Amino acid sequence: MSSSGIVNLSLFSAVALLFLCFVDVVTPTDVTRGSVLGVFLEVDKYFRDTGELPPSLDALRQRAPKLSITDGWGWPLHYSFSDTVITVASYGLDGKAGGSGWNTDRSMSYYVRRPDGQLWIGTDGWILQARQTHF
């Protein structure tokens, strides 16, 4: 290799290294967290508009077609709710319940009601105050 080729390769390597130093790495867990938060924002909108919890993620997608209902590994998110808690979960890299490491389940839950029994969902600050996270 000529000396100009070595200089070009070294310059390319230096530029590539600088680029990598300034690039944020987005992990599948980060993508999952963003998808889950997006779902909860749409749940809040749905409840404010209808006074009911959405029956499924598909019902949210009908209202918000660009809503991501998959996790960072491409698996569908899991949505469940009761009179007291709403949960959205990812089963991790393997897409199966349970596991450890990248296969760990990740979920986020929000209380529907305050401890005194009053509805919490649909009130200002609900999305900030009623959260339980398992990420």
At 78, is the pLDDT very low, low, confident or very high (cuts 50, 70, 90)? very high
Indicate the pTM of the whole model. 0.79
In terms of average pLDDT, the best of 55-59, 111-115, 122-126 is: 55-59
pLDDT tens digits for range 43-65: 999 999 999 999 999 999 999 99
pLDDT at residue number 133: 73
In terms of average pLDDT, the best of 37-41, 99-103, 122-126, 130-134 is: 37-41
Which residue has tokens 């290799």?
1
pLDDT at residue number 116: 92
